Amino acid sequence: MPSLRHSYTVTVAEEPAALPADKSDLRRKGPALSRSVLVSTFMGLIINHAKKRSPQGLVGLKNLGNTCFMNSILQCLSNTAELRDYCLASVHHNDLNNNCRTETALTDEFVKLTQGLWTSVNNDIISPSDLRNQIQKYAPKFAGCNQQDAQEFLRFLLDGLHNEVNRAMLHPTASNQDFDHLLDDEKGRRMWSLYLERENSRVVDLFVGQLRSSLTCTVCGFRSTMFDPFWDLSIPIAQKSAGEVTLKDCLRVLTKEDVLDGVERPTCNRCKARRKCTKRFSIQKFPQVLVLHLKRFSDSNIRASKLSTYVKFPLKELDLREFASESSERAVYNLYAVSNHWGNTLGGHYTAYCKNPVLGEWYNYNDARVSPMSSSQVRSSNAYILFYELATSAHSKSQTC
């Protein structure tokens, strides 16, 4: 597992080109076009031109030998609207990390593949071999033809893309202890700002949120709070003796209060001794794209196993207010993609169900085959990774801690 760094993007407006002295007043009179407007306009021209030829985003990917895990994730990311727009506009070169002088082959190939999926003339099958070669260089564990875990691949891919377009130039060294004297909300904001000074990319701007972890001593009542970024949330599947299991049931398992005792006892900062404590997680900052990983696979000393529990999850209006920190704004999400795993720990197959952001319809992506499907078919016991996007009405509210 890589040492994943989590970040959000801060777009810095570029200085306009210098104007001749006798036309300097034009700068004051002419309305300024932001970079985001130019990107959106350019992207729109690409999509509109492509739509006249054939439906876009409905292109299959060639299986290169047990690469269904990769194809499933690539289709989910291709249907992530804002990431797709970023690739279609080819603006990633503006964000390349000149500070580290890293190679950018991975991002180049990812952008080229995404553009191919959305501008293909005849919807011919595309081979992701060039992208696969680059991801294997970045993460050698994906070399060869062994089946891999889709969630692990997603993490490595996003981390690799982020590394290449991370625009952060500073590396501050302040730790959590520097902010322990602050109230929790202010501490969370300071930690987030500090984090952005280290990590700042368009990729993480879309996918990263902030978790709040509270640790309370049962002896003296002292509470310490930590704030950490997250790319996705790995959620235990709730076990119920009766009735259906819902996504919120699973989220409640993740965020329930746990007791740390015995060998797990932490050291209380006030008591200066190891004490029995309670620990609880909540979401301090909601990301634009929320990735929820259902923990279906478990490894034990005896054998690996897979849970095939049917988890009921909403396609629209997933309200996560229950799991937010006290000061967080209401966050409502809509589902747009699912990575599915069929089979068991001995062998299986990955597919993707994605809602085309242009057509607004659901499609089944099964390697080279792409076929329409009903929204009623999206939920299944094979759902493994859920991709949610922040609803438009809640978008602006999520931008502050």
Distance in angstroms (rounded) separating the CA atoms of residues 332 and 392:
9
Query: Which among 397, 380, 371, 360 is positioned nearest to 59, based on CA atoms?
Result: 371
Comparing C-alpha atoms, which of 317, 300, 322, 331 is closest to residue 395? 331
Q: Catalytic residues, which ones?
A: 68, 349
Residue 80 CA from chain centroid, whole number: 10
The CA-based diameter of the chain, rounded to the nearest angstrom, is 80
**Amino acid symbol at 208:** V
**β-bridge pairing 332-344 and 318-319:** antiparallel
Give the containing element (helix H, strand E) for 25. helix 25-29
Which residues are within 8 A (CB) of 77 and not within 5 positions of it... i.e. 6 or more apart?
A: 83, 114, 154, 157
Dihedral through CA 87, CA 70, CA 248, CA 256, nearest 10? -100
Cα separation of 49 and 202, whole Å? 25
| Enclosing H/E stretch for 195 | helix 184-198
List own/partner pairs for 341-348 with CB under 8 A and 24 or more apart: 341/150, 341/296, 341/306, 341/382, 341/384, 342/382, 344/306, 345/297, 345/303, 345/304, 345/305, 345/306, 347/147, 348/147
Beta bridge partners of 339: 352, 385
Structure token digits, residue 244? 């259906």
Q: Count other C-beta atoms under 10 Å from residue 266's C-beta.
A: 14
CB crowding 60-88: b at 16 or more within 10 Å, else e: bbebeeebbbbbbbbbbbbbbbebbbbbb
Unique residue bearing structure tokens 């000149």? 98
**Crossing angle of the two packed helices 129-138 and 150-165, in degrees rounded to 10:** 80
Is residue 126 left, alpha or beta, with left meaning phi > 0 and alpha meaning psi from -120 to 50? beta
